[in-house]
Amino acid sequence: MKKEVRVRFAPSPTGALHIGGVRTALYNYLLARQQGGTMILRIEDTDQTRFVPGAEAYIIESLKWAGITIDEGVGVGGPHAPYRQSERKEIYAKYAKQLIEQGDAYYAFDTEEELEQMRERLKAAGAEQQQYNSITRMQMRNSLTLSAEEVNKLMQDGVPYVIRLKVPRKEEIRLNDLIRGWVMVHSSQIDDKVLMKSDGMPTYHLANVVDDYLMKISHVIRGEEWLPSAPFHVLVYKFLGWENEMPQFAHLPLLLKPTGDGKLSKRDADQMGFPIFPMNWNDPKTGELAKGYKESGYLPEALINFLALLGWNPGNDQELFSMDELIQAFSLERINKAGARFDIQKAQWFNQHYLRQQSNEVLAKAYLEVLLQHKQTCEVAKAEKIMSIMKERITFVKDAWENGKFFFFTPEQYDVAIAAKKWNTDAVKVISEYPKELTATEVFDATTAKATLENTCAQVGIGSGKIMQALRLALTGVGAGPDLMMIMEIIGKEESILRLQKAIATLTVS
Ligand code: GLU
């Protein structure tokens, strides 16, 4: 029988969700939806020293905004609750105890100083690795080197201890990664990692394996940075007797800097002026505000389409995918091994595309918010009209404000180059006449403005094509923009006439 697809996104609440984390969540989600499986959100908060308040809520909000819905987990509940690891301490303790009893794990009492001394000793002896492992463990203070009485005494005295996995000395560990193929590691390369810390919390390495098993996870899809830990996890599965139920692994390629050299960091993104987080993040430690994709004007559809193709390819040259299309087309086999270069221009291109597909009503809402930020208001009908002619020309809604101030303000200045080229006696003739004709119109809209212009031009005997750019200059101050007659309709008859008269009074024919 085919195993039911159950995947998990398992972030640690140590800060804002990185954009790479959104991609990891997305790939998990796509597989779950395609296979009729279950998408789980597990919060891996066992490292109390790195816990950041607000991070969990931020992660949940971000996934929601991106359209990645959770079926089971923190915030939703489910048959394997609790899904927050800090609330599952007893479960991990039980398995750690089992490993101790089987002789596959041991107690270690070494202090920080003793561990440091060991590393120094090994370094001085020229050892390649300075690890706590099958050889060095025998020189340390642990339940393998101390007598049972000594161990009991230390415990009774409340001396802090950890539990470490007893990694076998000579064993070939193999795992078949769905993206990378067979990964083979010799156990001598692996250290006796800590499973339980002295504060009674498990480490990621134990909690992750125990939870993936208990939550019946079928595929572990996560970032490449976890590949080196995977052989250790395989050992834990084996020692706990779960080898046959082990999930399949798929380690995703790194997100690279736009230049392609090295991993993309927040610093790179900051320097190049693009967001690294899905939504605004107020760092509670530094007080710094990092701008998100959402607040920068990206639509979730655009971000999802962009991220889907950062590391996965459909096998043809299709680039535009809705979430539903991604669910159809996605496959783990088509995830690339090589790192994916982060090209923000591509994200902008997607945004442009999805923005054009939005209705004027929806865009107008966003536009009104942008206006509000600039202490500007306008009627909804006007905002919708502005969007109808601006949406083909912008990447973000906020561009409509930057490139369309003329919808609100009479030009104070005129583009000098356009004026020099286009403001001539013909233009002046038409533009002086035009306001008079406009005054007489009963209904004023783009159609009548156009008809009136054609009339005026015919009367003065000058083709309208010859004076269009000068007319645009008079009305907007610049040489290019959306449909001019619609601009007139939007700013209204009075304002149009006023601007034409002002231009005549201000601009001189050179
Ligand atoms: N808590 C780990 C992280 O934040 C999860 C790694 C995994 O998916 O196993 O990246």
**How much distance in Å is there from the Cα of 350 to the middle of ligand 1?**
29
* Omega prior to 79 cis, within 30 of 0: no
Which is the catalytic residue, given 197, 263, 266, 421? 266
Residue 180 has what DSSP assignment?
A: T
- CB of 42 within 6 A of ligand 1: the answer is no
The verdict on residue 203 lying in a domain is: yes
Distances (CA, A) of 253 to 6, 14, 258, 306: 21, 22, 15, 15
- CB of 10 within 6 A of ligand 1: the answer is yes
Side-chain-side CA neighbours of 452 within 13 Å: the count stands at 24
CA–CA gap between residue 302 and residue 344 (Å, rounded): 11
Domain range for 414 = 404-510
Is 466 labeled as catalytic in the residue annotation?
Answer: no
Residue 241 has what DSSP assignment?
A: T
pLDDT digit string, tens, across residues 353-376: 999 999 999 999 999 999 999 999
Single out the residue of 220, 307, 212, 318 nearest to residue 264, CA to CA.
307
Supply the DSSP string of 387-431, one letter for each residue: HHHHGGG-SSHHHHHHT-GGGTS--SS--HHHHHHH--HHHHHHH
Query: Looking up tokens 């499986």, which residue turns up?
Result: 37
The verdict on residue 418 lying in a domain is: yes
The CATH number of whichever domain residue 192 belongs to comes to 3.90.800.10
CA–CA gap between residue 229 and residue 195 (Å, rounded): 13
Q: Average pLDDT of 241-266? A: 96
The last residue of one of the domains, among 210, 235, 261, is 210
- CB of 21 within 6 A of ligand 1: the answer is no
CA–CA gap between residue 482 and residue 467 (Å, rounded): 16
Could you give phi then psi for residue 120, rounded to 5 degrees? Answer: -60, -45
CB-based contact 230:223 (threshold 8 Å): no
Nearest-CA residue for atom 5 of ligand 1: 10
Residues 6 or more apart whose Cβ sits within 8 Å of residue 413:
477
**How much distance in Å is there from the Cα of 171 to the middle of ligand 1?**
26
What pLDDT was estimated at residue 509? 79
The verdict on residue 412 lying in a domain is: yes
pLDDT digit string, tens, across residues 47-81: 989 999 999 999 999 999 999 999 999 999 999 99
State pTM to two decimals: 0.94
pLDDT digit string, tens, across residues 385-395: 999 999 999 99
The last residue of one of the domains, among 187, 210, 233, is 210
Single out the residue of 507, 428, 417, 493 nearest to residue 466, CA to CA.
428
pLDDT digit string, tens, across residues 221-247: 999 999 999 999 999 999 999 999 999
What pLDDT was estimated at residue 187? 96
Assign 248 to helix, strand or coil. strand
The verdict on residue 116 lying in a domain is: yes
Mean pLDDT, rounded, of the chain: 97
The last residue of one of the domains, among 210, 232, 252, is 210
The verdict on residue 450 lying in a domain is: yes
CA trace torsion 13, 19, 21, 24 (10° rounding): 160
- CB of 12 within 6 A of ligand 1: the answer is yes
Mutate to test the pocket of ligand 1, among 62, 204, 225, 229 (most ligand atoms within 8 A of CB): 204
Hey, what amino acid is at 30? L
- CB of 11 within 6 A of ligand 1: the answer is yes
- CB of 59 within 6 A of ligand 1: the answer is no
Extract the tokens encoding 20. 């790479």
Closest atom, ligand 1, to C-alpha of 212: 9
Single out the residue of 334, 281, 282, 324 nearest to residue 304, CA to CA.
324
Single out the residue of 390, 387, 368 nearest to residue 379, CA to CA.
368
The verdict on residue 370 lying in a domain is: no
CB-based contact 68:29 (threshold 8 Å): yes
The CATH number of whichever domain residue 498 belongs to comes to 1.10.10.350
| Number of domains composing the chain | 2
Extract the tokens encoding 321. 């995918």
Distances (CA, A) of 21 to 183, 213, 267, 508: 24, 22, 17, 59
